[in-house]
Chains A and B, each alone.
Chain A
Amino acid sequence: MATAAYNTTVETHGASTAFTGEACSLVSGKTYQIDNTAKRVWVPSVTPTVKDNGVTVAAANIESYDKLFGKVTFVNSYTVTGPVTVDGNYYPLLTLAECRAVSAEFSVTELNTSVFGTAGVKRIAGLMDGDVEIDRLDFPDTDLDGGVGEVKLRALLLARTPLLVSIRPGGAGDYIRGWFIGVADNIKTGVDALVEPVLKLRLAAQNNVAAGIGS
């Protein structure tokens, strides 16, 4: 059933925070996910340490990480003993307050692989790209981090700092997450109108982490 958009959440990343011994549970096949939902966005530049029954798993037995949703996938030939735990660094998520509209659009380059003998066009997907636009009523100089640290969008944009954006349409179900850079920070206002900042961001993969969807 369709859901209203007013519960949509839009978040960005806070300060990198270390974690140790976090429990992971089986998702399916050889893929495990960190149980703590608050620690599922892992720092792209940090390689986690995965332990199986307290013993560090060799890199050769790790097929991949999903650092947007806190997952590790073991190679097919590896037999998990359990329990699986992980040490690493995560980003807590900070809410972008007073958002009133968000647009996230992703695309892939289509590469034509048609050859003689095929009656119709054949294709494979090439590079992915993404654009996000966030309309807010909150001025980008607001400190999003209520703690000791300071996270101000305008400062991050001017510093060319990559931003994680996590969108949950309707506030339920899947998150759409990705790493982006700010490309525009438009402020529109009028004497009898609101101040309306519009942030525009483009996909900017960090350490092989681009974008994905999950929970």
Chain B
Amino acid sequence: MASAGYATGFYCNSSNSFAGANEVDGIKEVSFDPQMADLDTTNFKDTSNGHTRIAGLLDCDVSCSGDWLPSDTPQALIRSQFFARSACWLKLVPDGTNGWSGSFLCTNFKVDPKVDGLNPFSAQFKLNAGTITVI
């Protein structure tokens, strides 16, 4: 059954533990993109006429965007971990309950305020520790 996006929860902490205080404020959009490397094992002896594959390394991209909130501890943690070159633990629960978590490296962040708008903030992350936990 479809679920509305407003129930989504996006959390950030410096360790693998998430409570209400770790939910990132100000975020309006999140994308979570886990990918498995597909390794083609097709060979001449296959008779299926189709590719055969196995899954290789897991990778994952996460991006978030919304409003700059310097006083929000989890949001400020994203930026401080970026400059410290340290990992962020992220948790995304699209329906508020079920989702994924993992350790990620913030590889990019951007702020670009314009005089007639809000203060936008966006960040991008890449999988850091090799695993994603299903919640």
Partner of B127, one of A102, A121, A170, A172: A121
Contact with B along A25-55 (1 / 0, CB 8 A): 0000000000000000000000000000000
Judged by a CB distance under 8 angstroms, whether A199 is at the interface is no
Tell me the nearest residue of chain A to B67, going by C-beta. Answer: A2
The SS class assigned to the A binding surface is strand
Contacts of A123 in B (CB 8 A): 105, 126-128
Determine if B57 and A121 form an interchain contact, defined as CB atoms under 8 angstroms apart.
yes
Contacts of B80 in A (CB 8 A): 213
Determine if B113 and A5 form an interchain contact, defined as CB atoms under 8 angstroms apart.
yes
Contacts of B85 in A (CB 8 A): 108, 124-125, 128
Partner of B57, one of A3, A108, A120: A120
Residue from B59, B76, B119 having most chain A Cβ neighbours under 10 A: B119
* Min C-beta distance of A33 to chain B, whole Å: 15
Determine if B105 and A3 form an interchain contact, defined as CB atoms under 8 angstroms apart.
no
Determine if B112 and A174 form an interchain contact, defined as CB atoms under 8 angstroms apart.
no
Contacts of A173 in B (CB 8 A): 68-71
Complex-state Cα separation, A105 to B123, whole angstroms: 9
Contacts of B132 in A (CB 8 A): 120
Determine if A2 and B57 form an interchain contact, defined as CB atoms under 8 angstroms apart.
no
Q: How many residues of A contact B (CB 8 A)?
A: 38
* Min C-beta distance of A136 to chain B, whole Å: 11
Tell me the nearest residue of chain B to A137, going by C-beta. Answer: B115
Judged by a CB distance under 8 angstroms, whether A8 is at the interface is yes
The SS class assigned to the B binding surface is strand
Contact with A along B106-128 (1 / 0, CB 8 A): 11111111111111010000111
Determine if A2 and B119 form an interchain contact, defined as CB atoms under 8 angstroms apart.
yes
Determine if B127 and A101 form an interchain contact, defined as CB atoms under 8 angstroms apart.
no
Judged by a CB distance under 8 angstroms, whether A97 is at the interface is no
Tell me the nearest residue of chain A to B117, going by C-beta. Answer: A5
Contacts of A102 in B (CB 8 A): 112-113
Complex-state Cα separation, A92 to B122, whole angstroms: 30
Complex-state Cα separation, A125 to B105, whole angstroms: 7
Judged by a CB distance under 8 angstroms, whether B129 is at the interface is yes
Judged by a CB distance under 8 angstroms, whether A14 is at the interface is no
Contacts of A122 in B (CB 8 A): 128-130
Contacts of A19 in B (CB 8 A): none
Contacts of B79 in A (CB 8 A): 174, 213
Contact with B along A173-188 (1 / 0, CB 8 A): 1101000000000000
Pick the 10 closest A-B CB pairs, nearest first.
A173-B70, A120-B130, A5-B113, A120-B58, A2-B67, A103-B112, A125-B85, A169-B119, A105-B110, A174-B70
Q: Beyond the given A4-B118, A169-B68, could you list 6 further A-B residue pairs with CB under 8 A, ordered by the A residue number?
A: A5-B119, A104-B110, A121-B126, A123-B126, A128-B83, A212-B83
